[in-house]
């Protein structure tokens, strides 16, 4: 268990100002979009508290987050019927894949704040993904694009030996895990 908030990434931390941030919604969507912060702010803000689990075995309990539900953002683009999978792209060249179903979950957010403060660059600010039901590697920092796909495509860690699904309660850390 950790008290402070560890920082973990590939080491290149892109500086993005809130005003300069854009999110591209592309792939299997009816209406491709480029969303800015003003549009994001028109969507309902929600507060959730959740635990985060890094695959390298640290866990931080009861982190308060604020953000917009990813499904509300996706509704602006309208997933096409064949869309089943998604990639969440970070500005550092990172990506993580998830089933579209999980992007629709109540607690899957585009987070803009944690611990009562706007997200700092080190934690993926101004906007990161937050997917509480998966290991934290699925929560892309510096989120700048979401692409929807008919077929599953592995992301950065999923092509480097991490489990495709990454459910912490099933301990799905690495590819080859039995669950
Ligand atoms: N864009 C991007 N997102 C990322 C990463 C990264 O390297 N780049 N690392 C992932 C991993 S492995 C973890 S554990 C968490 C760490 O988030 P934190 O630095 O805010 O603790 O971010 C995830 N999201
Ligand atoms: Mo991680």
What's the CA gap between 133 and 149, in Å, rounded? 21
> 7 CB under 6 A from ligand 1?
yes
Average pLDDT for the chain:
96
Would you kindly state where each structural domain of the chain is located, as residue ranges?
Answer: 18-170
**Residue 2 pLDDT:** 86
**Residue 156 pLDDT:** 97
Q: What is the DSSP letter of 13?
A: -
> 137 CB under 6 A from ligand 1?
yes
Residue 177 or residue 123, greater confidence: 123
**Residue 139 pLDDT:** 98
- Residue among 123, 97, 102 nearest 112 (CA): 123
> From atom 23 of ligand 1, which residue's Cα is the shortest distance away?
137
What's the CA gap between 37 and 150, in Å, rounded? 28
pTM, full prediction: 0.97
Kindly give the distance from the C-alpha atom of residue 81 to the centroid of ligand 1, in angstroms, as a whole number: 30
> 136 CB under 6 A from ligand 1?
yes
Residue 39 has pLDDT above 80, yes or no: yes
> What's the CATH superfamily of 18-170?
Oxidoreductase, molybdopterin-binding domain (3.90.420.10)
What's the CA gap between 93 and 86, in Å, rounded? 16
**pLDDT tens figures, 1-17:** 788 899 999 988 999 99
Residue 113 has pLDDT above 80, yes or no: yes
């Amino acid at each position: 268990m950790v008290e402070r908030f560890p920082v973990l990434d590939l080491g290149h931390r892109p500086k993005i100002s809130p005003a300069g941030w854009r999110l591209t919604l592309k792939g299997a969507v009816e209406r491709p979009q480029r969303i800015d912060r003003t549009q994001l702010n028109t969507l309902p803000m929600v507060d959730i508290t959740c635990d985060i689990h890094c695959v390298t075995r640290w866990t931080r309990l009861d982190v308060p987050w604020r953000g917009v539900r990813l499904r509300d953002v996706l509704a602006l683009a309208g997933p096409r019927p064949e869309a089943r999978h998604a990639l969440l792209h970070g500005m550092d060249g990172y990506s993580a894949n998830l089933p579209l179903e999980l992007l629709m979950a109540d607690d899957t957010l585009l987070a803009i704040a944690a611990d009562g403060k706007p997200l700092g660059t080190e934690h993926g600010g101004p906007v990161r993904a937050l997917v509480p039901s998966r290991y934290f590697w699925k929560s892309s920092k510096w989120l700048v694009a979401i692409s929807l796909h008919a077929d599953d495509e592995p992301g950065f860690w999923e092509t480097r030996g991490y489990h495709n699904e990454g459910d912490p309660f099933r301990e799905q850390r690495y590819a080859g895990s039995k669950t």
